[in-house]
Amino acid sequence: MSVERETGVGSLGELWRRGAAQLRQAGVEEANADAELLLLYLLGIGKSALLRDWREAFPAGKSEDWQALLARRASGIPVQYVIGEQYFYGRAFKVTEAVLIPRPETELLAEAVLEAADRIWPGSGNSAPVVLDVGTGSGALAVTLAAERPDWQVVASDLSDEALQVARSNAQSHGADARIAFIQGDLLSPFLRGSSHELAVDVLVSNPPYIPSADIPGLQREVRDHEPRLALDGGDDGLDPYRAMAGQLPLLPRLPRIVAWEVGAGQAPEAAELLRAVADWGDVRFVKDYAGIDRHVVAVK
């Protein structure tokens, strides 16, 4: 890495250490990791290049930009919003404050849907399922499913037009925009019998808002102050979106063969009961997240 040394600044490693200390003093929990992400973003390099050039001089003229990035993160803005992206299922997704930041545990929901659908539609082809991602946000689930199974028909919906714009951009980035239809609307309302976008859904997947309204003030500042409340607030007990979707399921042209929901801690049993009240599913199971919490409910018929 050939750069001009900026007097008194130091090496990349020294800048990272000082930056991490600055973030730690500001109360950032993942100070080391976030400082590294900011440094990689600023320099436009990967982690292997950073490790290789750890002792190289920090580029001349970048100090002001570096301090600006640190200041934004120190103020509580999530690092993903600062750098404008988050990786999900091995792909980089654009994120803005109009969408929820994709979480690693939601990758397990994508895996569960892929596995369940592959058992029903092995090889797909002409029998490819119609998949609806409700509350798509950044489009992480919809784009991942479309990219992993190119013959699937995928529809992504969201109440927020700003979120849909981000999702469309991500679909374009990953070459899936021609295979995903984006529809604005509230939960399943646009797709019910007789509605403008009536849709016979085979697979319904959703990561809706599930945080109880009263819990939102106690969330981490990064989540509470910067992630969209529309994507967080699930009503008094966090289950309002699930009740609404469960009530709408019989109003679709046909009942989906698979319904897969991400839920909040402790909500899986109640969410499962909502689904069982709608239909006699062959299997209703829970998928644990990396912390051992029942994070996903998957019903298969």
Same domain, 205 and 135: yes
Q: What is the pLDDT of residues 168-215, one digit of tens each?
A: 999 999 999 999 999 999 999 999 999 999 999 999 999 999 999 999
Which residues are known binding-site members for substrate?
Answer: 207-210
- The enclosing H or E element of 273 equals helix 268-276
Same domain, 143 and 210: yes
Same domain, 125 and 222: yes
**What is the value of pTM for the model shown?**
0.92
Same domain, 194 and 289: yes
Instruction: Tell me whether residue 4 is in a domain.
Output: no
The pLDDT of residue 125 is 64
Which residues are known binding-site members?
Answer: 135-139, 158, 207-210
From first CA to last CA, the distance across the chain in angstroms is: 57
- The enclosing H or E element of 299 equals strand 294-300
Cα–Cα distance for residue pair 198/191, rounded to 1 Å: 4
Same domain, 133 and 42: no
Decide if 139 contacts 181 (C-beta within 8 A).
Answer: no
The yes-or-no verdict on residue 126 having pLDDT over 80 is no
Same domain, 35 and 152: no
Number of domains within the chain: 2
Instruction: Tell me whether residue 84 is in a domain.
Output: no
Instruction: Tell me whether residue 206 is in a domain.
Output: yes
pLDDT-derived band at 235 (thresholds 50, 70, 90) equals: very high
- Residue 263: C-alpha distances to residues 83, 98, 114 (Å): 28, 21, 18
Structural domain that includes position 56: 12-75
**Domain harbouring 295, CATH code:** 3.40.50.150
The yes-or-no verdict on residue 124 having pLDDT over 80 is no
In this prediction, residues 227-231 reach a mean pLDDT of 94
- Residue 200: C-alpha distances to residues 69, 193, 241 (Å): 46, 9, 20
Q: What is the pLDDT of residues 129-143, one digit of tens each?
A: 999 999 999 999 999
Which residues are known binding-site members for S-adenosyl-L-methionine?
Answer: 135-139, 158, 207
The yes-or-no verdict on residue 255 having pLDDT over 70 is yes
The pLDDT of residue 9 is 75
pLDDT-derived band at 127 (thresholds 50, 70, 90) equals: confident
**End-of-domain residue from the set 45, 75, 105:** 75
